[in-house]
Structure 1
Amino acid sequence: MVRACYHQGLPGGLYHGTGGKQPVRGGVFHSGGGKKGTYYLVRYFVDFRESAERICARLEELGLHTCVIFYPEKLSVDQLYDAVRFLEELRERAFYVPGGNVISARQLEEQVKLLEGEEENREVSRRILGEMKELLHTQCLEKKADRLEVFLLEYFDKLNNNPRKCFYILEEMSFFLSEIYDACAARKKEARLPGKPELKAAVYQALNLEELRRFCLENGLEGIRRLGDRKAEESRKYEHVVSCVKQYVEAHYGDSICVEALASDIGLSPNYVRSLFKESEGTTINEWIVEFRMEKACALLTDRRLKVKEISRMVGYENSSYFCSVFARRFGVSPNEYRLEILG
């Protein structure tokens, strides 16, 4: 936030923090700044608002998208201290003014009033933050970005209607982003989140509510969405590998199949293929091959012309006794018993 006071009787010149001095067109003088803001002093003027607008435009050129509050009356040096104190008191209210705006101190005092029900408003914020925190610690975090966005937008909408001291808001958003950081910590590289200290520091540098809202949406929810993009990419990779495995088995189930040959056909390492398949399907490749062969065997057993030994070889088992043993473990009956039950 920038404050502009108009006064008479000060020597001309532009004063920077380094002590530099140079004239400025229009009688606008920079008196330096600090943690509490930047002050511009206007010694002579044509119009209060016009001078404040030029200050605002200059700040925009410097990359500072903030509001400028100007004191609407001409002041003497004796009045300057009280005027600056009055502008300081408006700091909380100025947090709710979007960047790029120029507003009279008197107008701001009337337009934006911090409600007396501070504790009640804090309870509303705590409820929303509690729901966001609970959501952050559920499974499949990457799927929760849209719901978190709803909560976050609700939080800022409530603040627009029920202004609160910016200190509490900055504390709460620092907490919110810290929770996101912790929730994504296991996959920090995929989320591409800044470090926790950098996140918290950036929150406290927000010039207004609009900037804070944008920062939280971009650096919090986008990190979670990137996790979702990563998850979707992994899912597509799994689907491709699983599809290749199943196609290979369907084409070679009557032959001797080993995972090494299967992986070589896909162009990946055997262990990598085993891992992806197990994670996607919840079963091993060998278990899936057995299941597929048993399903084919059941279908072939409905043909009375085929002997069990023939069916055994057709589904990849050279040893018919071993085939019968595997079949019995799977269905609880021998191939011949199964045929009798099905065909009678």
Structure 2
Amino acid sequence: MVVQPYLSIVGWARNDGYTPNYEKRLEHALGVLVRQLDKHKVPSELIVVEWNPPPDRPLLAEEMGSLGPTGNVTVRFIVVPPQHHEGLQGWRTRGMHVNNAANVGIRRARGKFVTPKALDTFYSEQLVARLGQLTLDDGCVYRCDRLDARMEDESWLDLPDDQLLAALARSTVHRNDRLTHSIDWKMRDLHTNACGDFILMSTQRWHDIRAYQKDPSVLCLDSDSIALHAAAAQGASEIHWQDECIYKVIHGNTHAQRTATVWKDWQLRLDHYLVARHRRELAMALRVWLDYPRRRVRGLEEILAPSIERNFVAKAARYARNDTSFETNDADWGLAREALSERTVLRAAWDTP
């Protein structure tokens, strides 16, 4: 009999060399997290969704070394075959669709609470200790800051867990803390900065909001922030843990380093004209209505993404009015009707097959 775990952590991966030493980074990060969760006795599962695996490389589940032993943590790999990726805008250039991959894991999560997690990040010891208290409230959504660390070389991959976390703390160069949104956006003041690395709430809440929004392209912009606002519209109260954090080792594919806005001359002139005449509300309405400035992501220049005003601000403003009829995904989100291949590489004592 399978006992419901307290926590499910959902990640996504693809064996395509996304970063140098990707397989080693993934195995190391998973191992650290397994050991932390086991140390603090959190009945939990880690779900890794292998999205659109390259046919010429082994599955990541086959590359994992020992992650245990453990009595508290199960590690599951779920494989989503290429046909679910082909046809998306930009699919030939980028093999990953973060929204869809995360949704597959969230839909199949068994925990009482769920959080998505980029698999190359690390939880601070304080964060896992907090989770180990097993005192989460299903009426809340929990956030913490992400700290970006710059490591000089790859030697950190061989450090013991405690030394690694200390090195990450020493090497922090930027803290993604709470930002203040423009009052023109007319949305709730939520901690959306780097929120994709930690949005912890009940599994039921994730189902209520239908997880991450549907995106016909591989860019998946703003989806984490939209989910946070959707949860608030459903009644979730945000709790910002300020003494706990997540560490991310900076690499060349970090989102903020790849995205830029694209203005046309007439858009800039119109925007400056309206702002100078204190017509900021009209300027914002035109950005939403006419969808500018659009955004371009390095490496996917063939796609001109929607403006943040059209794709995020307008939706968050609706959620600020508690418009719970507004849904950003289909009822069968997360490939709910698909039977997907699954492999358990580590099984907790609570998880009896």
Q: TM-score normalized by structure 2? A: 0.24
Whichever structure has more strand as a proportion of its residues is 2
Question: What's the TM-score, normalizing by structure 1?
Answer: 0.24
| Higher-Rg member (1/2) | 1
Larger RCO (CA within 8 A; separation ≥ 6): 2
More helix by share: 1
